[in-house]
Amino acid sequence: MFDWLGFGKGMPLWWSYRLNRHLKEDVEHIFEGIAHTRTEILRSWVETYWCHLDRLHTMLSESASASSLLSQDATALQKMLAATLKSGADFSEIFILNEKAGVVYSTYSSHVGKTYVAGSVLAKGLEETRTGKKCLFGPFSDPLTVQIGPSTSAFHDAMTMAFILPLMENGEWKGVICGRVPNDVLGDLIQRESGHVYPDSGDNYLFMAKPVLNKQIAPGTALSRSRFEDLTFTHGDNLKDGVRTDFGIVGVKEHTELELIFTDPATGQLHPGVAGTIAKGSNLFVEFPGYSDYRHIAVIGKGVTFQLPHCPDVWGMMCEGDLEEVYRIRSIDWKMFSLQLKFIVGFILLSGGGFWLLSGHVAGGIGAAIMAAASALYGWIGSGIIRRKGSKPVVKQLAQINRFIRLNAEGSGDLTQRLHVQEFAGDETRELAKWINNMIDSLEGIMLQVKQAASEVQVSQDRLNESTGSTEQSTGRMSTQIHNMIRSLRGQLKDIDVAKDVTQNMSGTLRELEEKASDQIAVAQDEVGRIGDKMDQISAKVAETNSTIQTFLLTTQEIPKLLKVIEEISAQTNLLSLNASIEAARVGEHGKGFAVVAGEIRKLADLTKKSTTEINDTIEQIERHANEAFLSMEEGTKVVWEGTQIVAAASEILSSASAHDTMKTQVVEEVVALMEKVAGVSKENRQISAEVEQTVQELLQDMLHVRQTTGDVGAITQSLFQLMNQFQLTESRIR
């Protein structure tokens, strides 16, 4: 019946459960609500902090591309990081890594220069972002987190969560933006200690359900701080000193995360709550005898698994309470029934005594008087006891609750105050006090978030004021420049109109010139044609003369040969006449006549020789002059050929001139058409310039409205702060 608890521990728990079994459905709703609310708080928180980094990434992208990120203004970039750190209060550091995984910018200056090589604390998270995916990485132990200091959590150690957003360009990894969050912040998110429904035992904690990226973390390993890690959260044993069980001591050396695996000390296996949640994804168990947790105490509660945005691992969360505390309540109805039952028992005893007295032991009158007095006394004492132990404590506690609610209902309550639950009896008034504390805690958390949001609005409004003033000045300068530009543009548009008119006039003039030039070119072409014909005739005659001279030269070259033959004949004749004279002289008188003839023949031979020499000289002069004439004729032939070429070129030029005139006309027509288009565009530009000028004026008016609106936002923010200041809040508590 009492299962693993045994009779000694099981009997009281069974009796408490039996007395309050009608609360089972409410208890289920309580644990379902806690699990759902805390899961949504975690998801919403993670999405909010991704938004902070997304806004930072957008600002960086607007100021520079990912590849030139390192070369932009360092001061401006540091301001962006500082603004993001201020907006995301849970961040303890914002830093940027380059493509070599080196820290180039950080809100913690000592971190700059560190490189995260393979095997470093961030290596797995960085590797996950290489494909452009975001990664929520952790928890992991990083001593630097301790050096930097806490953000919003009262507890602080080396356990860390990292939001890693990749910087990509053209599909290439250029680095990351990282946001560091102390892991104890997660414990604060899911605990909300001052508003805990089960303050003595209730514990909400995270554990690994299915490791995907962090495969070195075994399922069932703690991922958040437990309420029992420190004495601040519990009045009993804690994990730092060691929780004593019948099966040994359960403890941690430094912190719960990654050191503690939620096992049952009796079996060494994952305790049923964690094991059932991992196996089924969701596990609700609120009945007796509950299950054994890592302290080997009977607990009940709700377990869920979930995945946070951009976290590869599947986490689990247990929302538990000790069975004894959950069903500890003793109803007012039960208390009143107990008192009434005791009163009835006393009345029965009193009635029995009166019956005994009236049965002959005393006189009837005296017995009746004694009985009446005893009944009156018993009734007075009994009603006093019932009032003092029954209704009066309830009224007192309700009055305390009423006073507490009234102070906060007046709109200027102290939200730092809580009802002291331990001062209330273990009945419905204690439950009411717990839920009022929970409600006030939630309200304080909301008010603090509103206050933080109002602070961010005020900071943004100050920035907007500054930006609006700068934009207004820039818009004014832009308006002046646009006005000057439009004035110049309108002057240019007038020049375009004049150019259009000039082009149209030029088009008419060119058409007239074209017609005249076409007639002149036609006449010139005819003349050039006739000149070409004449040049062809001259060329033919020159060629014929050149051929005749060449033939004459060939003939004159034959004459020296003939003269040489004549010269040889003359020499022989002269020799023969000489011989004849000798022979005539020898014969005497008989040869005188023959001697005279021989002498004449010799004279003729000499004359022939002399004539031949003169003819030869004359032939040489003729040949020389003929050669000169031939060379001159060759030069003439070249000149005539060049003239023919020039005439052909002139004819071609004249032909092309006519074509060029046509092309010029076409070009002019195209220019005219273009100018007409430009003129049409100029009309549109006139309209556009007027619209631009009007738009700039509207922009100036809008900037004035923006300035007025920012002023209104500032006034609203101040009013919001005034309303917030009506409540006293725990300034060290962010949520």
In whole angstroms, give the CA distance from residue 724 to residue 354.
Answer: 68
DSSP string computed for 438-449:
HHHHHHHHHHHH
What is the three-class DSSP state of 414?
A: strand
140 and 59 within one domain:
yes
637 with 539: CB under 8 angstroms? Answer: yes
355 and 484 within one domain:
no
Average pLDDT over residues 259-279: 94
152 and 131 within one domain:
yes
What is the three-class DSSP state of 291?
A: strand
In whole angstroms, give the CA distance from residue 444 to residue 735.
Answer: 8
Q: What is the pLDDT of residue 412?
A: 59
For 453, half-sphere exposure in the C-beta direction (CA atoms, 13 angstrom radius) is 11
Question: Phi, psi (5° rounding) for residue 46?
Answer: -65, -45
534 band by pLDDT with thresholds 50, 70 and 90: low
- 330's torsion region: left (phi>0), alpha (psi -120 to 50) or beta? beta
Q: Which residue has the tokens 């596990």?
A: 283
Q: What is the pLDDT of residues 38-58, one digit of tens each?
A: 999 999 999 999 999 999 998
Residue-range definition of the domain harbouring residue 199: 27-264+304-322
Q: What is the pLDDT of residue 384?
A: 80
- pTM, whole model, 2 decimals? 0.63
CATH number of the domain bearing residue 513: 1.10.287
Q: Identify the helix (H) or strand (E) that includes residue 79.
A: helix 74-87
392 and 530 within one domain:
no
Among 162-171, 235-244, 439-448, 662-671, where is mean pLDDT lowest? Answer: 662-671
46 and 145 within one domain:
yes
In whole angstroms, give the CA distance from residue 309 to residue 136.
Answer: 7
Q: Which two tokens stand for residue 721?
A: 């702060």
Q: Which two tokens stand for residue 272?
A: 């049923």
In whole angstroms, give the CA distance from residue 189 to residue 43.
Answer: 11
User: Is residue 76 domain-resident?
Assistant: yes
Q: What is the pLDDT of residue 734?
A: 44
644 band by pLDDT with thresholds 50, 70 and 90: low
- When comparing pLDDT for 359 and 322, which is higher? 322
User: Is residue 548 domain-resident?
Assistant: yes
Among 170-174, 228-232, 280-284, 580-584, where is mean pLDDT lowest? Answer: 580-584
440 and 387 within one domain:
no
255 and 397 within one domain:
no
Maximum separation of any 2 CA atoms in the chain, in Å: 254
Of 278, 294, 322, which closes a domain?
322
543 and 665 within one domain:
yes
Other CB atoms within 10 A of residue 533 CB: 11
User: Is residue 503 domain-resident?
Assistant: yes
User: Is residue 84 domain-resident?
Assistant: yes
Average pLDDT over residues 473-477: 66
In whole angstroms, give the CA distance from residue 54 to residue 510.
Answer: 66
The DSSP output letter for 142 is -
Task: Provide the domain count of the chain.
Answer: 3
Of the candidates 686, 678, 684, the one whose C-alpha atom is nearest the C-alpha of residue 499 is 678
